[in-house]
Structure 1
Amino acid sequence: MEFKIKSGDLAKHKTPCLVLGVFEKRKLAPAGEVIDKASGGRLTELLKKGDLDGEPGRTLMLYDLPGVAAERVLLVGCGKRKEATRATYRQALAASVDLLQRTHAGEALSTLAEAAPEGLSHYLAVRDAVTTAAERVYRYSQTKDDKQAPKTPLRTLTLWVTKKQESDEAEQALRHGAAIAEGVTLARELGNLPGNLCTPSYLADQAHDLAARFDTLSVEVLEEAQMEELGMGALLSVSRGSRQPAKLIVFHYQGAGQGAAAAQRPVVLVGKGLTFDAGGISLKPGADMDEMKYDMCGGASVFGAVQAACELDLPIHLIGVVPASENLPDGDANKPGDIVKSLSGQTIEILNTDAEGRLILCDALTYSERFDPAVVIDLATLTGACVVALGKHASGLFTADDQLASELQAAGVAAWDRVWRLPLWEDYQAQLDSNFADMANVGGRDGGAITAACFLSRYAKKFPWAHLDIAGTAWLSGKEKGGTGRPVPLLVQVLLERSGVLSAST
């Protein structure tokens, strides 16, 4: 999808569709007032008929408006002007794109950014327009004939700025939004692929393909023999039950100003890459088990964030680590009661083979020590307990570092990819006690998301670290089943701020 920025005489701009905002009580946004004047009050006249009052997400398509060069004019409800929120703004953006997908316009000029709520910067208003549009036009089609696809999909969206001096900021927002959107799309596409296609080897191949596109990116893939030589007993214990060999995928990115970036301690992103999780010997229930292809969404989001950093040529040192495996029942699979030795030298009693994500992540975290990281952020579809706690709206955030927590929380708000901090108190660590190993891999039902984070914290003592549990946010179920691409927007926001491209949102 292509995005552009335009300014000038709105009424004279030729476009298949002009999108205008309408607040409740039929109050036109400023751009609508311009068009109303150009059309001799035609918009006011039509609104008085009562077909659109301005309710959030409601739409009304008009044709052949006098004095206006646009072929169509789409009115979109934006809610109450004084009570407008970012959520209602994004609802209006989504509604406009959804309707445009059902028309034969193919391209449109949207003025909705000027109808953004008070307090939302123009930069974020434009960026939200880009990311929301890209989200709404995405359709999965790799393994199906998409018979419901729009006959004339929205291919170009031009965003209106009222003042030419705002164009530079809008162009920056457009660039950032497009890179975030492409990263989200990559993460969604990898997540939506079935487990028989998206295997650990497939992910490794995709990593090599990504590195081939950018001179600033290189990738190395550790095979099982290399991991065994290093002593990654926890990770390799998970892949034993699968015919697919495990891979440890490592991205190395150094962007603009490579000399300075090379001297920086890197930001390290570690993403869980379980391409299918049946639970192993502790087999999951059959219902909805197909959704366990999404257990690699943490790894997919690392792919998406790395791609965005490359697209934007961010002046930052970034490393992405994706431990990739399957977790299946087999004669050689982990058994409850087995004890494995991790790369750190700590031993783990496996009480539940379905708590495998932490086993592959703990070795990846220990491996990350060699990079002397400025910060390590791991992201994983780790626990159903986090879904119970937070639902589908916020990802769980765990860290003992208050400053890092504040950074991630503020970045999540800025990116509209929010997180909620849960405790990581020492009190919970005792639940991982084992009579036979340094720790158990589960701590019981109580506080399951917290004890999972406590487990990982034992492998993250040598660097600033945060854990994101994205089990509730990485994909949707039911009629809207599909990957969301979260938390790519949050990660890219962090990279934009840490690289100095954007001011910190804290």
Structure 2
Amino acid sequence: MKCSAVLKSEVKEKWDALAVGFFEGEKESLSALGKLDRNLKELVEHVFQAKKFEGKDREMFFTYLPGLKSATAVYFAGLGKKENHNSEKLKSLVSRLLKHAEAQKFNTLALDLKSVAPGKVSSHDLGRAVEEARVLSSFRFDKYKSKPDKRKELHSMDLLCHDPLERKEVQSGIKFGRWVADAANIARTLASEPANQLTPKVLASRTEELAKEAGLKCEILNETEIKKLNMGGLLGVAQGSHEPPRFIVLETNVDNKSQKPVILVGKGITFDSGGISLKPANDMEKMKYDMSGAAAVIATLWLAAKLDLPFKVIGLAPTCENLPSERPQRPGDIVTISNGKTVEVINTDAEGRMILADALSYAVKLGPRYIIDLATLTGSCRATFGEYAIGMMGNNRGLVDSLKDAGEKSGERCWELPLWDEYRDHIKGEFADLKNVGKGTAGAITAGKFLEEFVDKQPWAHLDIASTGWFDENHAYISRGPSGAGVRILAQFLKDLI
């Protein structure tokens, strides 16, 4: 399906359907509709007078009107109170419109863009919001079904603009939104793959394919090379599986030696049983998504190459399985991380922080501008925020504030948790420098505090996406399952650095 920005004054074709937005109790769209189609203006007046439609949030009026010159059918979309409307509600509206239009087997749909625009949102961001919603809501993962579900998709969606400058900005936003949503869907696809199909080796191979397509430098470190780097955290978790670990390194702007790189680090546990500290059977099948942090980093590096950013971005993804076996990591084991710190393993199900410790230590050696790690790290974070916010911690006020702002802009909201010194006592080791879990309280925070031990005071932020990485129910424009968490906020953050 193609989404395009078109000028109202140049419209010649007749759409299958036209959608127009109305705020509750207001008829500001009437004058514009009159220029587009006088019969449509008369219909709106009639519908409002009959109180068949009042513009309330999520309210939808739909009817066929063969007499219209612009479209065969029309949607009146309720936006609610103007002061409450925002880009996320616009994305939700677009998703609902597309689903209804596809159910009607329409081929073409037009959206009067100005009528649905939130206040103080640029034309570029309007185009981006609509296209993100379109691409994200169209995601399906059915490659393993013998008979995939058939669905009728629109051929085209036109966004109606008032002047050439607006059209140019909207079209630019559509392009950016498509790239961002495509990247998020790459992450969703990777996280949807079953663990018997997406082993660490296969994830590395898929990453090489994406890197080649995008023009990224890609290096895959095998188990022998990982051992040479003394990555005891990664090797310890991986030892319970017959599948060997990999350490993925991606890089943009290879020739840029003058600027410090932005380094993204993602947890890549392709299946997490918990190890000897075995998880309950209920919902364990979802643990294929425990590599969502790595998926987000891989997809964001693909996007960064597409955006041709003027600075270097490096992605690091340690990947392995966490399984019980005849040779697993045991509670009480002590391992040495590549920066020399020792960790006593108290719980083998706290494995993500162990592999991230090695990756963060590796990142420090690269002289970073910023380090941002993403991980489906703690159930504590999901218990705190549900599926609606990313848990964020960090040691640099400017970085944390920038990520929070990027979260608000992108629709991936963050909430900062403290990293007070008192939490350090929770992970202080008895037989080693550190232990890998705390006292049973403040689990998300103590996990972040553990990671802080390996960034050597470099500007760093931690995003715990255990809360938003998997949706148990359909959300406004993202279906249940892996959500591609982290990609959109990172895209916005990198864009804002330009």
The aligned residue for residue 241 of structure 1 is: 240
The aligned residue for residue 303 of structure 2 is: 308
SS in 1 for 2:252: strand
Give the counterpart letter for 2:69 in structure 1: V
Residue 139, structure 1, aligned to residue 140, structure 2:
yes
The aligned residue for residue 220 of structure 1 is: 219
Seen in structure 2, the aligned counterparts of structure 1 residues 56 and 146 have a Cα distance that, compared at 3 Å, is: farther
Q: Give the Å deviation of 1:134.
A: 1.2
Q: How far, CA to CA, are the matches of 2:118 and 2:237 in structure 1?
A: 48
Contact 1:11 1:34 (C-alpha < 8 Å) held by counterparts: no
Q: How far, CA to CA, are the matches of 2:240 and 2:114 in structure 1?
A: 52
Residue 342, structure 1, aligned to residue 337, structure 2:
yes
Residue 29, structure 1, aligned to residue 25, structure 2:
no
SS in 1 for 2:120: coil
Contact 1:59 1:96 (C-alpha < 8 Å) held by counterparts: no
The aligned residue for residue 503 of structure 1 is: none
Give the counterpart letter for 2:389 in structure 1: A
Residue 201, structure 1, aligned to residue 186, structure 2:
no
Q: Give the Å deviation of 1:429.
A: 0.3
SS in 2 for 1:308: helix
Q: How far, CA to CA, are the matches of 1:92 and 1:33 in structure 2?
A: 23
Seen in structure 2, the aligned counterparts of structure 1 residues 460 and 322 have a Cα distance that, compared at 3 Å, is: same
The aligned residue for residue 90 of structure 1 is: 91
Contact 2:126 2:170 (C-alpha < 8 Å) held by counterparts: no
Q: Which of 355, 377, 392 does residue 387 from structure 2 map onto? A: 392
SS in 1 for 2:217: strand
Q: Give the Å deviation of 1:110.
A: 1.6
Q: Give the Å deviation of 1:300.
A: 0.6
Residue 192, structure 1, aligned to residue 192, structure 2:
yes
SS in 2 for 1:283: coil
Q: How far, CA to CA, are the matches of 2:176 and 2:87 in structure 1?
A: 18
* More moved, 38-47 vs 124-133: 38-47
Q: Give the Å deviation of 1:364.
A: 0.6
Give the counterpart letter for 2:134 in structure 1: A
Q: Give the Å deviation of 1:431.
A: 0.7
Q: How far, CA to CA, are the matches of 1:357 and 1:398 in structure 2?
A: 16
**Gaps in structure 1 of 5+ consecutive residues:** 501-506
Q: What are the within-5 Å matches in structure 2 for residues 70-81 of structure 1?
A: 70-81=71-82
Contact 1:101 1:153 (C-alpha < 8 Å) held by counterparts: yes
Q: How far, CA to CA, are the matches of 1:386 and 1:287 in structure 2?
A: 19
Seen in structure 2, the aligned counterparts of structure 1 residues 67 and 21 have a Cα distance that, compared at 3 Å, is: same
Residue 298, structure 1, aligned to residue 301, structure 2:
no
Q: Give the Å deviation of 1:449.
A: 0.5
Q: How far, CA to CA, are the matches of 1:160 and 1:307 in structure 2?
A: 31
Give the counterpart letter for 2:265 in structure 1: V
The aligned residue for residue 317 of structure 1 is: 312
Q: How far, CA to CA, are the matches of 1:171 and 1:362 in structure 2?
A: 42
Contact 2:24 2:55 (C-alpha < 8 Å) held by counterparts: yes
1:144-194 superposed Cα distances (whole Å, 9 cap, x missing partner) = 2565442x2134322222221212221221121111010011011111111
SS in 2 for 1:292: helix
Residue 474, structure 1, aligned to residue 469, structure 2:
yes
Q: How far, CA to CA, are the matches of 2:258 and 2:10 in structure 1?
A: 48
Residue 351, structure 1, aligned to residue 351, structure 2:
no
Residue 436, structure 1, aligned to residue 431, structure 2:
yes
Q: Give the Å deviation of 1:262.
A: 4.0
Q: Give the Å deviation of 1:29.
A: 2.8
Q: Give the Å deviation of 1:289.
A: 0.6
Give the counterpart letter for 1:232 in structure 2: M
Give the counterpart letter for 2:137 in structure 1: R
Contact 2:237 2:354 (C-alpha < 8 Å) held by counterparts: yes
RMSD: 2.0
* More moved, 3-12 vs 466-475: 3-12
The aligned residue for residue 326 of structure 1 is: 321
Give the counterpart letter for 2:199 in structure 1: T
Residue 458, structure 1, aligned to residue 453, structure 2:
yes
1:379-430 superposed Cα distances (whole Å, 9 cap, x missing partner) = 0000011112222111011012111111111111111111111001111001
* More moved, 113-122 vs 445-454: 113-122
Q: What are the within-5 Å matches in structure 2 for residues 249-328 of structure 1?
A: 249-254=248-253, 261-328=256-323
SS in 1 for 2:365: helix
SS in 2 for 1:472: coil
Q: How far, CA to CA, are the matches of 1:282 and 1:207 in structure 2?
A: 30
1:25-53 superposed Cα distances (whole Å, 9 cap, x missing partner) = 47363544544535461332245444433
Q: Give the Å deviation of 1:210.
A: 0.9
Give the counterpart letter for 2:250 in structure 1: F
How many corresponding residue pairs? Answer: 493
Seen in structure 2, the aligned counterparts of structure 1 residues 351 and 97 have a Cα distance that, compared at 3 Å, is: same
Residue 42, structure 1, aligned to residue 19, structure 2:
no
Seen in structure 2, the aligned counterparts of structure 1 residues 446 and 63 have a Cα distance that, compared at 3 Å, is: same
